[in-house]
Amino acid sequence: MTLPTDHPWHAAGTADSRLVRAMQARAVDRPPVWFMRQAGRSLPEYRKARQGIAMLDACLTPDLAAEITCQPVRRHGVDAAIFFSDIVVPIKCAGVDVEIKPGVGPVVAQPIRTAADVQRVPAPAPDMFDAVAAGVRATIAQLGQTPVIGFAGAPFTVASYLIEGGPSRDLPRTKAMMLRDPETFSALLSRLAELAAEFLRTQILAGASAIQLFDSWVGNIPARLYRTHVLPHSRRVFKSVADLGVPSIHFAVGANHLARDMASAGNDVQGVDFRIDLEEVDPQLRDTFPLQGNLDPAVLLSDRQTIEAEVQRVLAGGRGLPGHVFNLGHGVLPDTDPDLITFAVEAVDRYGKPFEGRPAR
């Protein structure tokens, strides 16, 4: 399947944007820059727009989601927008009783604990993600040649919320199900992979020019369990959207020990969190994959001199890669001064070097 002729990939030339070129290991005048959670609580205009509106309601109100998505592009001049969403939006659209409680995170009314419980999670259905598609279309109508990145939570992380009933750093019930009842665990991740794939396809067909699959909690498990119980489902997500031809990013938090396995999921770009310098990434990955990252978000809480030095350090670490997308090694922290985010973007523009491109993989 090819993208429609009115898609920004063709109509606005996003196929030739800095972001897409870097993700495809093509020549760029400098690395593109965007930040995870660039739209959100660090921006006063976001807080004003969201006032009195629940998070998931905001995600599913097309004009509001579009406005929030565009805010950091207007303010910071980043090279890409990431569509405003949340990891649990697909299951919310599917009818699961989930809400995001301030100061807590996603909370599920009826956790998934048995094989029968898995049947309560519906398969993708026509029109399930219509509000999301409308939000992406409203976004691209405002952004012109700036590409939009579609976003979805990876099956493992969404499963962890469903099984635990809410956020959990140790994931005791999730790990117990994975080990004690691998069939039920696999059935749940398989259903969540279907939802994630359809969620991403919806965003791509509505106008997204790249995608990111985000795994918040998978860093809590060892590589042997990841390969057996998790990787096949993430791989299924990437395979399900590969025919659309837009480049993809795979990112997880605290999962540098899984990097080589994650890079085998079918993604084009490997995200790197802030716990490892780019120069220290597995040499095989450095030689074969464009990397995304990886300024520590806490750096943006410091001062201009520190930010400038750290931006230059990360840029230096990205030189010699097949491609480099400058980003944070996790999301923008809520208390970050927006002016310092803009300063970091300007520093990338000042110090980023041209790259001639070379084949990846």
Specify the DSSP class assigned to residue 332. P
pLDDT digits (tens, 9 = 90+) for 237-271: 999 999 999 999 999 999 999 999 999 999 999 99
Does 345 fall in a domain?
no
Higher pLDDT, 1 or 24: 24
- Give the integer Cα–Cα distance in Å for 192 and 37: 23
Q: Label residues 92-115 b or e (16+ Cβ within 10 Å = b).
A: bbbebebbbeeeebbbbeeebbee
- Give the integer Cα–Cα distance in Å for 77 and 343: 10
Does 25 fall in a domain?
yes
Provide the mean pLDDT of the chain: 96
261 neighbors 231 (Cβ within 8 angstroms): yes
- Give the integer Cα–Cα distance in Å for 342 and 353: 19
Specify the DSSP class assigned to residue 20. H
Full residue range of the structural domain in which residue 38 is found: 8-257
Does 271 fall in a domain?
no
Q: Residue 358's pLDDT is what? A: 72
pLDDT digits (tens, 9 = 90+) for 264-290: 999 999 999 999 999 999 999 999 999
Q: Residue 1's pLDDT is what? A: 66
124 neighbors 91 (Cβ within 8 angstroms): no
Q: Residue 29's pLDDT is what? A: 97
3-state secondary structure 184-251: HHHHHHHHHHHHHHHHHHHHHHHCCCEEEEEECCHHHCCHHHHHHHHHHHHHHHHHHHHHHCCCEEEE
Does 113 fall in a domain?
yes
Average pLDDT over residues 305-321: 97
Does 358 fall in a domain?
no
- Give the integer Cα–Cα distance in Å for 98 and 59: 13
**In this structure, are strands 355-357 and 26-28 parallel, antiparallel, or unpaired?**
antiparallel
For residue 253, the domain's CATH number is 3.20.20.210
Q: Residue 357's pLDDT is what? A: 78
Specify the DSSP class assigned to residue 272. -
Question: For the chain, how many structural domains are there in total?
Answer: 1
CB proximity list for 334: less than 8 A, separation 6 or greater: 40, 41, 42
Task: Give the closest residue to 94 by CA, choosing from 61, 68, 60, 69.
Answer: 60
Q: Residue 133's pLDDT is what? A: 98
Question: What residues pair up with 294 in beta bridges, in sequence order?
Answer: 327
State yes or no: pLDDT of 224 exceeds 90. Answer: yes
Average pLDDT over residues 110-127: 95
3 neighbors 10 (Cβ within 8 angstroms): yes
State yes or no: pLDDT of 162 exceeds 90. Answer: yes
Phi, psi for 278 (deg, rounded to 5): -60, -35
- Other CB atoms closer than 10 Å to residue 126's CB: what's the count? 7
State yes or no: pLDDT of 14 exceeds 80. Answer: yes
Positions marked catalytic: 37, 41, 50, 86, 161
* Distance, CA of 297 to chain centre: 16
CA distances from 75 to 30, 45, 69, 182, 341 (A): 20, 10, 11, 47, 9
State yes or no: pLDDT of 291 exceeds 70. Answer: yes
Q: Residue 2's pLDDT is what? A: 82
Does 142 fall in a domain?
yes
Q: Residue 359's pLDDT is what? A: 61
- Give the integer Cα–Cα distance in Å for 97 and 173: 19
State yes or no: pLDDT of 360 exceeds 70. Answer: no
Does 307 fall in a domain?
no
- Other CB atoms closer than 10 Å to residue 29's CB: what's the count? 12
Enclosing H/E stretch for 325 = strand 324-328
3-state secondary structure of 174: helix
Q: Residue 213: pLDDT band by 50, 70, 90 thresholds? A: very high
Give the global pTM: 0.96
Does 313 fall in a domain?
no
Average pLDDT over residues 312-319: 97
Name the burial class of residue 187, with classes exposed (0-12), middle (13-18) and buried (19+) by CB atoms within 10 angstroms of its CB.
middle
State yes or no: pLDDT of 103 exceeds 90. Answer: no
